[in-house]
Structure 1
Amino acid sequence: MVPFAGYEMPVQYPAGVMKEHLHTRTAAGLFDVSHMGQVILRPKRGMEALCLGFEALMPVDVLGLAEGRQRYGLFTNETGGILDDLMFAHRGDHLFVVVNAACKEADVAHMRAHLADVAEVEFIADRALIALQGPGAEAALAAMVPEVAAMRFMDVGVFPWQSNELWVSRSGYTGEDGFEVSVPEAGAEGFVRTLLAQEGVAPIGLGARDSLRLEAGLCLYGHDIDTGTSPVEAALTWAIQKARRAGGAREGGFPGAARILRELAEGPERRRVGLRPEGRAPMREGVELFATDGTPLGRITSGGFGPSVEAPVAMGYVPASYAKIGTVIEGELRGKRQPLTVADMPFNPTTYKR
């Protein structure tokens, strides 16, 4: 157990990080992610006004999100940097938002300050959040809540289990099919114990959660993205829908639009890339990156050994001219420079149920 964002969190269980990682890829891993912030936005003047107000905080299409669906979002600042990344769902008469643990107080204050005219911002403090990930996740959860089997990637729904109301999304942050389930605090332990009693379900800690998301090429806030990083630099342009881009129905109108729209049109000066170090030794966060002629390029923002790919993997930022797949650069490890190759992401194929 270690301190993490003000919580005591498990790094690993007795099986260890490697086995937990591989178990999630082959069966079902259960993660307690209750440290994440859960927020409900209730409209004051109708859902359209709420959606327009919320999308004024980020370069994402909120108005076009269908009821019963979820989307990835990014709060941006006036210089085009990322304040936080988040998930938000359209649940008919309100939006449900999940934000990162370390940013949740700032995010709630940000929403209250900017959405005062269109929304009641309710921070949810009495519900746990459980992630169930892997190819066995559907069978395990459907044994308790049969309706979830019909859900597809990024669907959301509300279902009963015993005397509890479960808020379910078919999503996660491992690259695997799976679910995130918000459950009332009073029913959380019973829900988790019942899940763990299902065949193939095992508890997974922070260590494997990090290696799983790294293999999936997914960003960790405060490491791969931050207030100085734009969504375009971070290779998150897939999260910016056509409606918010140049020529779109609601072009711009979000913090940092000038920079973000310019980078979308012209390209950024640097880009987040996948990296494959040679050999077996992982290159971790902070390793400095260089061109083969010694020119400093940037640094690694996430790195480690990928148990599923049986090799070290990393992500980092390099000038755009070095971002082409197959480019060979160098990283300084223990005083020696060793080669890495710019690689496509994800490193391990995703298995989302489309």
Structure 2
Amino acid sequence: MSDSPLLETPLAPLHRELGGKMVPFAGYSMPVQYPAGILAEHLATRQGATLFDVSHMGQVELRGEGAAEALERLTPADVKILKPGRQKYGLLTTEAGGVLDDFMVANLGDRLFLVLNASRKDVDCAAIEAALPAGVTLHRMPDRALLAFQGPAAVPSLATLAPAVAALPFMGVAAAEIAGIPVLVSRSGYTGEDGVEISVAADRAEDLARTLLALPGASIAGLGARDSLRLEAGLCLYGNDIDETTSPVEAGLTWTVGKRRRTEWNFPGAERIREELDNGPKRLRVGILPEGRQPARAHTAIAVGGETVGEVTSGTFGPSLNGPCAMGYVAREHAADGTALELMVRGKAIPARVAATPFIPHRYAR
């Protein structure tokens, strides 16, 4: 907690105009929902196109010869293999093998563009700057906003304004213009649906947002729907499902450790990660489906036969599932799909089972 006043994104006046319910999040005042409500906003994303303000995220560039090699000092991701116009998801790791943060990195040809979590951007930037060699520099971009336009109708409707966007493959990145506004567009997002994230100058963000909301079938959504969507999609939230105590192996994110990096082992935490890859971790992140309608929230104890074997890290009622879903960590011997669990909610054991994620299939562009 901090006594510092909450920051606002460039879209704060628009959120208030549209009736956004503002709450503190990662040091910012952010809309958790609008009058339609989280359920409606969630389902609108699955069925059409919704606009999310994610301008609280950190946007930075790494510039200079050897930027990719420099970033690899902090991540097990293979950054050097990334071709111009392509983006990937990766993890920054600690010397103890935990996750400092998760991030997106794009190769823009003459520089790398990174998107960092709002709550970790200052920590990340300090760590990156400390590892940079001469000639490679980090540039923060506080003058940029970031909008996510998500759902099966997002790209088709956006293509009426910027036809080139429709040609972007999943995880493709390109400069474009939308209604005369210069932007950087990536075909990505954190909802499990097709869509884009759009980096735009802060002073053009409201114009862009109004342009997108004027598209047929488009609506606005808040952090509540974004959270239920990403959980149904089985995607991790930093600070809940991954943090400095969890390793990429425990989190089921071993696919972020590049093939070449598994021969070099020259990234932070390599010793722990290599040992867990070889011998298995003591615990694993799993999907969980409780019986009935009662959600199990974060920090709910997970038991088997009355013995605590883990803890829920994220849990909610899934609007698309029409039932509760959760993720958490359990001892490895209880991590197989179908394993019976008990979730201790308000002193009562709720039956549940381990289930494969995503709970709702991803619908990314392929």
- Alignment partners' CA distance in 2, 1:269 and 1:74: 20
1:313 equivalenced with 2:330 (yes/no): no
Give 1:259 shift. Answer: 0.4
Residue-by-residue CA offset, 1:187-237 (whole Å, 9 max, x unaligned): 111111010000111100011000000000000000100001000000111
Match of 1:34 in 2: 55
Match in the other structure for 2:285? 272
Q: Could you say if the C-alpha distance between residues 118 and 61 of structure 1 is closer, same or farther in structure 2, counting changes exceeding 3 Å?
A: farther
* Matched-pair contact (CA < 8 Å) for 2:181–2:208: no
Normalised by the size of structure 1, how large is the TM-score?
0.96
Contact 1:276 1:342 in 2 (8 A): yes
- Alpha-carbon distance between aligned partners in 1 of 2:28 and 2:348, rounded to the nearest angstrom: 37
CA offsets per residue over residues 310-339 of structure 1, 9 Å max, x none? 110000000111000000011111111121
Do the aligned partners of 1:38 and 1:125 also contact (CA within 8 Å) in 2? Answer: yes
Report if aligned partners of 1:53, 1:118 keep a CA contact under 8 Å in 2.
no
The letter of the residue matching 1:128 is A
TM-score by length of 2: 0.93
Q: Measure, in 2, the Cα distance between the counterparts of 1:219 and 1:161.
A: 31
Matches within 5 A, 1:1-354: 1-43=22-64, 46=65, 49-245=66-262, 248=263, 251-291=264-304, 293-354=305-366
Distance in 1, Cα, partners of 2:104 & 2:243: 17
Q: Is the 8 A contact 1:28 1:200 kept in 2?
A: yes
Q: Secondary structure at the match of 2:294?
A: coil
Distance 2:178 2:218 in 1: 18
Distance in 2 (alpha carbons) for counterparts of 1:207 and 1:104: 22
Conservation of the 8 A alpha-carbon contact between 2:70 and 2:133: no
Deviation digits for residues 280-319 of structure 1 (CA, Å, limit 9, x no counterpart): 111111110111x212111100001000011100000001
Equivalent-residue separation in structure 1 for 2:135 and 2:107 (angstroms)? 15
Alpha-carbon distance, 1:140 to partner? 2.1
> How big is the shift at 1:264?
1.2
2:340 and 2:179 map into 1 onto residues whose CA distance is 56
Classify the secondary structure of the residue corresponding to 2:155: helix
Where does residue 6 of structure 2 map in the other structure? none
Question: Displacement, 1:50?
Answer: 1.7
Cα shift at 1:241:
2.0
- Unaligned stretches of 5+ in structure 2? 1-21
- Indicate the larger mover: 259-268 or 74-83: 259-268
Question: For 1:49-95, what per-residue CA distance to the aligned partner results, in whole angstroms no more than 9, with x for missing partners?
Answer: 22111111011100111111001011100110001000000010000
Sequence identity (%):
55
Partner Cα distance (1:178, 1:225) in 2: 24
Matched letter for residue 29 of structure 1 = T
Residue 102 of structure 1 aligns to a residue whose secondary structure is coil
What RMSD in Å do the two structures reach over aligned CA positions? Answer: 0.9
State the 1:266 CA deviation: 1.3
**Residue 156 of structure 1, CA deviation:** 0.4
- Which amino acid in the other structure matches residue 243 of structure 2? D
Q: Deviations over 1:8-66 (max 9, x none)?
A: 100101110000000000000100000000001001xx2xx221111110111001111
Name the SS for the 2:315 alignment partner: strand
5+ unaligned residues in a row in structure 1: which ranges?
none
CA contact (8 A) 2:161 2:179 kept: no
Name the CA shift for 1:162/1:208 in 2 (closer, same or farther; >3 Å): closer
Q: In 1, Cα distance between the equivalents of 2:49 and 2:177? A: 22
Letter in 2 for 1:6: G
Give CA deviations for 1:247-275 in whole Å, capped at 9, x if unaligned. Answer: x3xx2100000000111121111000000
Amino acid of the structure 1 residue aligned with 2:332:
A
Structure 2 distance, partners of 1:208, 1:318, is: 26
Indicate the SS of the match to 2:246. coil
- Say how many residue pairs are matched: 345
